[in-house]
Structure 1
Amino acid sequence: MSLFKSIEWWSALHSSDEECDFGCLCVGDITNAHDGSEQVAVGNYAGLLRIYSPSKDNQAAANDLLLESKLAGPILQLASGRYVSVSKDVHLAVLQPRSISVYSIDIKKGAVDHGNQAVLNKVYEHKLERTSANFTSGSFGGVREKELICVQSMDGTISIFDSENFVFMRFIPGFGMPGPLAYCAGTDSFLTVSSNRQLESYSYQVLAVAASSKTKEESQSVTSGKRIKVDWQLSLGECALDIRVVTIPSAATVIMVLGERNLYCVEESGQLKYMKKLGYSPACFYPYVPAESSSVNCVVATHSKQLLVYEGIIVKWATLVDDVPVHVCLGNISGNEGLIVTLTDSCRVSCSYLGTHPSIFSLPRSNAREMDQSAIDKEMLAVNDRIRKLHSTKKDDIISKNRDNEDIKVKIDMPPTIDRVSVSGPDAPPSVEGQVPSITVQIMLKALRRVNNVSVMIHVDDPLTCTQNHISIPSIAESDPIPCMTVSFFLGKEFSPASLKFEVVVHYQQSGSGNPRVATAAAELPITLVSWPHDPIKTMQHKVTLESNVRCVNLLDLFSELTSADAGPHCVGLKLIHGATATILTSKSSNRYRVQSDAYQGLWLVTKDLLRRIRNYSTSHKITHPQPVTFDEIYPVMDRHFQLRMSRLSVHQLLDQRAKQFRAIQRRLLTRFKDKTPRPLNCLDTLLEGTYRQIQALANACGENAYMLLMSNVELLCSLRLVILLTKLALSLSDTESELLESVLCINLRDADMGWEETVETSISALLNSVLSKRGKGDEHRVASTAPPEIPNDISKLKDSIKTMFDRLASGKRLILSSSRESDAGPISNISVGHPSTRGDKKLNFATTRGGIGEEPTTQEDVDNEAFLADILKSTPVSSVPRKGQSDILKPPSELEFSELQTGDHSYNDPKPPKSPDIESSMSNLSLNALGGEEIRDLKSVVTDEPSIFISKQVLGATEDPYGADEDLIESSSFFDNTADDTYAM
């Protein structure tokens, strides 16, 4: 039982076998008392007409029934209004199947104590030749001090009556069945919902002049007429139950339509103002405007015995009633303004108001003693101590407790091989070798207790994609079978990824408390998903050398799935799909691995996968990087990424100016077209077309720039991750230090719009002023800037900051100050950070102490390492490889080839990128000066002058392999001789 019920103030029910429907209720000053009170008129299908004047609470008294009369025929609809032309009094209109009658209710005062007597007098009646459905009334055509009546028939005709006179009859076009009918005085039109579920408006003036040309006299017996043209239509998509026109003081009139599932508010012009979707089946409604308000409220009755009060689309009150109303309205009954009058299908009429009965129950006074304040203070201290202990608990203990309280566990089942038949589909970009491969992964959820609203989200970095990235499950219980979801991954764009890791995030709600929780899991996809087996290549441009403390592993055992015809135990090759070609070599005389590729970014995935396979093969392997960590290859990648960002800003600025110019030309053309005296266009139409074509070209350039910027961002992330990995291996950085270095260089940047250059420059500056400062301490009094970082004009300062950071790391500085590490430890002199101008200045020396690493090499080991490095330095040139110079090449996006980003040469001498083109100079080709009638320049050159995306490139000269001079590297005369054991040995 609901607390919010409608309180019944008055009700009347005479017989249980009576029937009525919508339209059989009318509330108004029917007796013309002019005292502000209104009466209630009720009709039914038995022809009984009753008029009430409620005056007593809870039940109908005998004198509340003013009138009861039996009419000849069922009563379909009642309405009150000024329907008599010679009188200003309110009369009652009664619609029956074959007639429309207007009655007056006269009150005669009785003698002595017999009371007043109400008399029903028929003023006039119109016989209808067609069966009626409903009617409406209003001041049609702008008449004053009276109202006309419009009756809609079952066959789609409307008949207009002016008091005792018949005016005309018209046919509604496209009629199928009668709908609700209303009149809008603001537009002088009739509103109805046709059988094609559209709200239509018909002007009264159009209906009046649409007379048949055959006869000049109007009659109800016509069978044809002119086709009526609708003023406007609004598609509702459903049938309507009722239409009401609401006039808002000091505001525009609105049309309220109650549909079967929606509530519509429409302007007079036919524009939808708002719509409220109803989650129930409505029965009837009544819109009204509260006092001193400009919003429309609605009382909606439902078939679930509810009354809902809406203010706009917001529910302000909900209450229950005893029965389902078929008609509802508001009235001023006996001085009680705003009473809700409802009528049921059994002719039960009631007046009620909204509210609740106050409870007369009061809590008895407790005989217990009052609380002791000292006891309350002790309890508060105990609670505070408990909270303090919880906050002081170790973080590891909290994490372990949270793990014990997990509600769901996520398991990822990764197959050992890729799919035999790829499921990539036609959306995946094709490759030279054929359809891109795919791998199908199973994700299983094990519920330890019941959870609800489970949402599984799968994320993978571009260009990898998955068949479905969101899965919803209503609920999972511990006794239910384990849900198993199948997801396939494949390449979705034409470039290689920077990471093969994917994450599974499960969001759910606990069944008991409803608290939201999150469970995560991650896995690594195999490199065979993005690569094909390829024949090894002897000499390649970019190389990485790794050293192991034990003998090199047979590569055929490590990469069994990447073997080709020319592969051997010391050499395997692979080709990244839409990417570079890579080769892995092992040395015969030393414990070395070499990874080489024709593109620097192609080394990252192969090197990382090689280290992972070596560690999985044996835990005794310790891998280091004995060579200097240089930045010759990463600087061009940074320049290209920065140039693409600058080009994007230039294109966006130019596109903004062209859009403003396009709108200015449109305004000028519109002014010319509106002039009464036409003037020449002065080639404005040609200028408009040229500007439009240039906007299209700029939009295409924006799209190509965005795609290339995404490719450059992935290439930059590959290069950065490779540098961090080599630095970690060279300097023996801890996992915490490497993670901090990754966060400083923003290697997890997934969005190219986040601004890598300004973010990294700010992070490195803060790091150089703190733990990597020369004094070892940061400036404690330095105030951090609150302004957001802006994109720099060039990245020369960023390059210097990166070089300084790695130089200080190589000199012995550490990213995390540890108390166990002595402050006077010697520098790390076995690593040198190279620079384009100073590469290889420091000699590698393993004999000095490694400060801060905690390793004490023996004397024999130092001697062996020193001899080993001397042998390496003889065969490996320290200086940079000579390159041929070439000027920068600027290409538009349409001419830029994909191979230049993936496998193109990235080295050049000029570290500063070219500046963005001058926007004003490019605008001079197409100027608004032509609006005055000047000669317009050739638009062909203007339209094809697309903004360039700047890619600098320098062709590298042919160089010999530094390792090729060593006789120990290649023993066999034929590199591709599979019969020799050491064919691919270094």
Structure 2
Amino acid sequence: MSLFKTREWWSTSVGEAEEFDNGCLCVANIDNESSGSDKVILGSYQGILRVYNPRPQKTESGWSGYSPEDVVLEQAFQQPILQVEAGKFSSGSENLVLAILHPRKLSVYSISAIAGSVAHGSQYKCEGLYEHNLQRTVHKFCYGPFGGVKGKDFICVQSMDGTISIFEQESFAFSRFLPGALLPGPIKYVPRLDSFVTVSSAWRVECYKYQVLAVASDSGGKDETQNIRSGKRVTFDWSFDIGEQGMDIAVIAFPQAPASILILGERSICCLTETGKLRYMKKLGYDPSCLLPYASLSEGTINYIVATHTNSLLIYQDVTLKWAAKTEFTPVQCQVANFKELNGVIVMLNDTGRLECVYLGTDPAIFVPPHVESRELNYAKMDAEMAQLQKRIKEKGQKAVIAPNRKPEEDLQVNIHVSPNLDEMSMATGVEIPEEDSVPSIQLRIQVKARMLIDNIKLEVHAPWPLATNRSDYSIPSVEPNTPAELFVSIFQRGNSLPAHLYVQISASYQSATGGSRITTLRAALPAKLVIQPVLPVKSALHKLTIDTNKPPISLNDIFPDMLGENAGGQGAALGFQFFGGPVVTVLASKTSQRYRLQCDRLEAMWIPLKELVSRLNQHFNRGKYGDFRASFDGSLPLQEYYELVDSHFECRLGATKCSEMLAQRASQFRVIERRLLTRFKDKTPTPLQNLDTLLEGTFRQILALGDAVEQNQMAEAVAANNLSCGTYLLNFLIRLWTDMTDEEFKVLENAVSPVVSESAEQGWQEMTDAAVTHLLRTVLAKSAKDAAVNPSPLSIPSDTGKVKKHIALLCDRLGKGARLMDGLAEKKERTIKLPTPKTISEEADTELSEESNAVDNVISPNFRSEKSRKKKRGVVRAVEELAPLGLPMMDKPTAGLGELSEAKNQKIRSMVPDLDDMSGGGDEENHIANGDS
């Protein structure tokens, strides 16, 4: 903020609704008056030229200001006026004349005063001398004695495409393209160098010699030369990067100041020598609007004025701020003029036509607050008033009604209604399950309400794989407040895999009333009967889980009334549920004890039935106000079976990495063979191909087989990721029942052992889970200072899964011993394991937390059996090794072939496809291939 403001000497408002910019103001003795008094020349974008001769009179109250006699000339033109300048542009006279730049024309006028014989004074006349019609739309022009001419000024016009055209007064000289001038920038002529200085589109100050431009120009007539489309490339004499867009350029040519070039940027002022060396740079903390250098009385310094968008004039001497004054507006251009009554007047013009002639003074620009009447302080009265206020505050606090904190109402509201019944006619399409006719679908009704009119709403429905929708995105043109929009979408199972969860997410994006982008997200739960169907229970299974409750057992028919199917009419002691295209899960209810058992050949398949069972039991027993139903798990955690899911997913990740590496190697090999074969074909002397065509065909078949292998491995990895997600959900749920966790602790557990399995190849589930579990073991679960001091391992793909399995086992062991996942909670009693202790897991990888390896034995299930043959018979794909041969001759599997090719041809192609990593080019490669073929 400035302490002082500018002092007005003369001012006026030019025209009505006219626009001005930098270049529309010029100060010069345009009428060539003998006294040398300057005139103010204005040209507007509306095409009106005005010439002012300010002559305010000194009065007792100050200067008289503007009078109508100050306007000496006003003339309208047909085209907008972009720039006005005064110079010696006429060959027949050395007087100053006026050059006016229009978008497609350059005109030169002579302004003269004719002495009047009556009282109204002199008459001014504007007479046209010559004009040049331009072939391109112009931006600016500069002038000067180009080529060192004496007593004359030539004009350089810059076009919008960066082309410059040189006019030697009445005649056209040449046009020239400047390299890198995609957009026009400020341009000035430096007389001492006989050069042009401009700022290019690359934010670089460039200097071009006039002689270089003149020599490089093409010869020809006027029209032909102005319409140039190509020419000799010119090079700049020097350049300097300023790193921002240049707004203006000023050439310093005052006697006391060093020869310099000032460049005004968006955030800085740069001063260069005439050879392009940096003298100094001033970083600005404001937005400048224009720059004006003026003569300095100090030797070797440069004085200049900077006008800002904060309505200030800043006076600098080099980089030192010498004065600051407040203005009434933001100037777009400033000039210094000498009038008869006053010299060194600052002439300012803004974009709306406000013209002021000011000088610097010491009039304060600060706000003076009004005087406030003072009164004596009565401390006794103040204490009484304070006591009364405190009493009222206390009474209000006791009687206040505590209102809940309500969130601000959203402009858009989305409601979802899931149909309780399956669709009579299934809407499932593109189903990958063999028995696709039996796959059901369920309908969702989505209702969109708005508090106000909202247009262009984008609605997306996301169903996690293997679930799918018949349509995933919708576009709603508009929703009115009293007319909600309704959409219907069907959900079904498309992929042949186990679903990890039964949630569908709906998101709506729209523009709020304030103009910001908003997204409303809602999640809806789907019924379990969408993915499982009732079947007869299976008597035997590989995996069994027993859930204890504190309530007497009830019939399963009462728990699953909508999912009985073939079991309807039974005793309700056993129910069977089968995933579509998947395994059968049997649910058993004890008649004498308060236990329920789930059994299945696949551990991960028991997650959704277990969750559904506990949820329905909770709803059944907690219908009253004081429901105290509680479920618990007292068996051993199925860690070995869970580790198999972790290994299967990790093997798929390794398979993806191996396939990608082999595909890259075979692609490189294919390109090398192509180059060698192309060289043979281009050779003028035909030479034998030496089985290069057969080698090319074999490599091509391998690339196709590898591409199929990558796709199949991706599918196997997606299935393994879903299986691991189901297993993780199940393990976390069992740990919660096992340790009776609180909701806050369970959130910490799910964040550490996350059931969300990412698809990233760089940071997969194994390393992220290992890092999270290790952090828990080092912090809230640390038993000693040694555990807390262990450094975490880097997030890189491990060589095996031994470390993450060991850490998960330690996590379960410490939770079983009563540890809590949140600070400040009392430890629980140690859980005793009822089943016999099995052998520990084998661990080859090093781990920092290995001192408790014996304690891991207590939480490993003894029910782990190696039953891979039965799982393969059921068609369960868990890793890339269980896929059919994919035609990978370079894989570790010795039985890998080439897909549908016969074994004999496979052997032939293998023998003809050596490793060609060393084939980088040259004749040695051909000899290597020839020797291998022979």
TM-score normalised per structure 1: 0.51
Establish whether residue 363 from structure 1 lines up as the match of residue 365 from structure 2: no
C-alpha separation between the residues in 2 aligned to 1:930 and 1:903?
34
Distance 1:205 1:404, change over 3 A: same
Which of 636, 643, 648 aligns to 1:635? It is: 643
**1:389-425 deviation per Cα after TM superposition (whole angstroms, max 9, x unaligned):** x9xx9xxxx9x96745555599764432356677888
1:608 match = 611
User: 2:877 aligns to what SS in structure 1?
Assistant: helix
Residue pair 1:141, 1:205 contacting (<8 A) in 2 also: no
1:417 maps to which residue?
Answer: 421
SS in 2 for 1:584: strand
**Does structure 2 conserve the Cα–Cα contact (< 8 Å) formed by 1:168 and 1:208?**
yes
1:582 paired to 2:580: no
Equivalent residues, number: 718
Deviations 1:282-315 (A, max 9, x none): xxx996457799x9999899xxxx9999xxxxxx
Query: 1:46-72: CA deviations, max 9, x gaps?
Result: 98752435767673257855x438799
Deviations 1:611-650 (A, max 9, x none): 2223334459765556543322111223344556677889
What pairs up with 1:817-836 in 2 under 5 angstroms? Answer: 829=832, 831-832=834-835, 835=838
Equivalent residue for 2:794?
Answer: 790
User: How far apart, CA to CA, are the structure 2 residues paired with 1:408 and 1:332?
Assistant: 59
CA-to-partner distance for each residue in 1:866-899, whole Å, 9 max, x for gaps? Answer: xxxxxxxxxxxx965653799xx9xxxxxxx993
SS in 2 for 1:606: helix
- Contact map agreement 1:23 1:76 (CA 8 A) in 2: no
Matched, 1:50 2:63: no
Q: Is the 8 A contact 1:571 1:586 kept in 2?
A: yes
Structure 2 equivalent of residue 498 of structure 1: 500
The answer to whether the Cα contact below 8 Å between 1:463 and 1:496 also exists between their aligned partners in 2 is: yes
Rounded to whole Å, the distance in 2 between the matches of 1:925 and 1:296 is: 73
2:583 partner letter: T
Partner residue in 1 for 2:866 = 883
Match of 1:544 in 2: 545
Pair 87,461 (structure 1): closer, same or farther in 2 beyond 3 Å: farther
- Kept in 1: contact 2:24–2:81 (CA 8 A): no
Could you say if the C-alpha distance between residues 712 and 816 of structure 1 is closer, same or farther in structure 2, counting changes exceeding 3 Å?
A: same
Distance 2:326 2:490 in 1: 49
Q: How far has the Cα of 1:602 moved from its partner?
A: 1.5
Residues 904 and 338 of structure 1, relative CA distance in 2, 3 Å threshold: farther
Deviation of the 1:558 alpha carbon: 0.7
Amino acid at match of 2:27: G
**C-alpha contact (below 8 Å) 1:54/1:333 kept by paired residues:** no
Task: Tell me whether 1:29 sits opposite 2:35 in the alignment.
Answer: no
C-alpha displacement of 1:756: 0.6
Kept in 1: contact 2:651–2:879 (CA 8 A): no
Say which SS state the counterpart of residue 125 (structure 1) adopts. Answer: strand
Matched, 1:40 2:40: yes
Q: Which amino acid aligns with 1:93?
A: A
**Partner of 1:528 in structure 2?**
529
Letter in 2 for 1:332: V
Contact 2:649/2:879, CA 8 A, preserved across alignment: no
Q: What residue number does 1:960 align with? A: none
Q: How far does the alpha carbon of each residue in 1:540-599 deviate from its partner, in whole angstroms, 9 at most, with x for none? A: 44343446654552448615257369996666554546x732333436866665434443
**Closer, same or farther: CA 253–629 of 1 in aligned 2, 3 Å:** same
Assess if the C-alpha contact under 8 Å between 1:803 and 1:833 holds in 2: no
The answer to whether the aligner puts 1:209 opposite 2:218 as a matched pair is: yes
After superposition, what is the alpha-carbon deviation per residue over 1:168-211, rounded to whole angstroms, capped at 9, x for unaligned?
Answer: 899xxxxxxxx99997889999999xxxxxxxxxx988996374
Residue pairs, 1:918-933, within 5 angstroms: 930=920
Residue pairs, 1:150-549, within 5 angstroms: 161-165=167-171, 209=218, 211=220, 218=221, 228-229=229-230, 246-247=248-249, 288-289=290-291, 329-333=333-337, 339-342=347-350, 349-350=355-356, 358-369=366-377, 403=404, 405=406, 407=408, 413-417=417-421, 433=436, 437=441, 439-440=443-444, 442=446, 495-501=497-503, 524-531=525-532, 539-546=540-547
Shift in CA distance, 457/767, structure 1 to aligned 2, threshold 3 Å: farther
Shift of 1:763: 1.7
In structure 2, relative to structure 1, the CA distance for the partners of 1:13 and 1:637 (3 Å cut) is: closer
Cα contact 1:109–1:117 (8 A) shared by 2: yes
Q: 1:79 aligns with which of 62, 77, 85?
A: 85
Q: Which moved more, 1:483-492 or 1:796-805?
A: 483-492
User: How does 1:64-103 map onto structure 2 within 5 Å?
Assistant: 64=70, 67-68=72-73, 78-84=84-90, 90-94=96-100, 102-103=108-109
> What is the CA–CA distance in structure 2 between the aligned matches of 1:938 and 1:382, rounded to whole Å?
99
Judge conservation of contact 2:732–2:749 (CA < 8 Å) in 1: yes
TM-score normalised to structure 2 length: 0.54
**Are residue 742 (structure 1) and residue 749 (structure 2) matched?**
yes
Cα 1:570/1:784, change in 2 over 3 Å: closer
* 1:93 Cα deviation from its structure 2 partner: 1.9
Give secondary structure in 1 for the equivalent of 2:66. coil
Corresponding residue of 2:878: 900
Match of 1:726 in 2: 734
In the TM superposition, residue 717 of structure 1 has moved relative to its aligned partner by: 3.5
Contact preservation (8 Å) 1:604, 1:722: yes
SS in 2 for 1:638: helix
SS at match of 1:601: helix
CA 404–205 in structure 1, closer or farther in 2 if over 3 Å, else same: same
Change (3 A) 1:463 1:443: farther
**Contact 2:54/2:70, CA 8 A, preserved across alignment:** yes
Alignment of 1:672-751 (within 5 A): 712-729=720-737, 731=738, 733-735=740-742, 739=746, 742-743=749-750, 745-747=752-754, 749=756, 751=758
Q: Is the 8 A contact 2:186 2:249 kept in 1?
A: no
- After superposition, the C-alpha distances for 1:656-708 in whole angstroms (9 at most, x for unaligned) are 9999x99xx9xxxxxxxxxxxxxxxxxxxxxxxxx9x9999999999998887
Instruction: Give yes or no for contact 1:439–1:488 (8 Å, CA) kept in 2.
Output: yes
Structure 2: distance between partners of 1:789 and 1:207: 66
Contact 1:442 1:485 in 2 (8 A): yes
The 1:191–1:136 alpha-carbon spacing in structure 2 relative to 1, beyond 3 Å, is farther
* Contact 1:720 1:745 (8 Å CA) reproduced: no
Looking at structure 2, the residues matched to 655 and 903 of structure 1 have their Cα atoms a distance apart, in angstroms, of 18
* 1:654-669 equivalence runs, <5 A: none
Q: Secondary structure at the match of 1:59?
A: coil
Cross-structure match for 1:757: 770
> What is the identity, as a one-letter code, of the residue corresponding to 1:92?
L
Corresponding residue for residue 196 of structure 1: none
- Relative to structure 1, the CA distance from residue 532 to residue 300 in structure 2 (aligned partners, 3 Å threshold; closer, same or farther) is farther
**Distance in 2, Cα, partners of 1:373 & 1:833:** 84
Tell me, in whole angstroms, the C-alpha distance in 2 between the residues paired with 1:495 and 1:96. 74
Give the one of 39, 59, 67 matched to 2:65: 59
CA positional deviation for 1:337: 7.4
Aligned residue type for 2:641: E
Deviating more after overlay: 490-499 vs 758-767: 490-499
Distance 2:495 2:606 in 1: 20
The separation in 1 between residues aligned to 2:818 and 2:184, in whole angstroms, is 87
Structure-2 change in CA distance of 1:696 and 1:734 (3 Å): same
Sort the Cα spacing of 1:190 and 1:720 in 2 relative to 1 into closer, same or farther, 3 A: closer
| Paired amino acid for 1:59 | G
Change (3 A) 1:703 1:789: farther
Q: What's the secondary structure of 1:83's corresponding residue?
A: coil
Contact 1:744 1:763 (C-alpha < 8 Å) held by counterparts: no
The change in CA–CA distance for 1:885 and 1:85 in structure 2 (over 3 A counts) is: same
Corresponding residue SS for 1:209: coil
Task: Name whichever of 697-706 and 358-367 sits farther off.
Answer: 697-706
* Contact 1:138/1:147 (8 A) holds in 2: no
Compared CA separation, residues 639 and 116, structure 1 to 2 (3 A): farther
Give yes or no for contact 2:98–2:109 (8 Å, CA) kept in 1: yes
- Residue 367 of structure 1 deviates from its aligned partner by 1.1
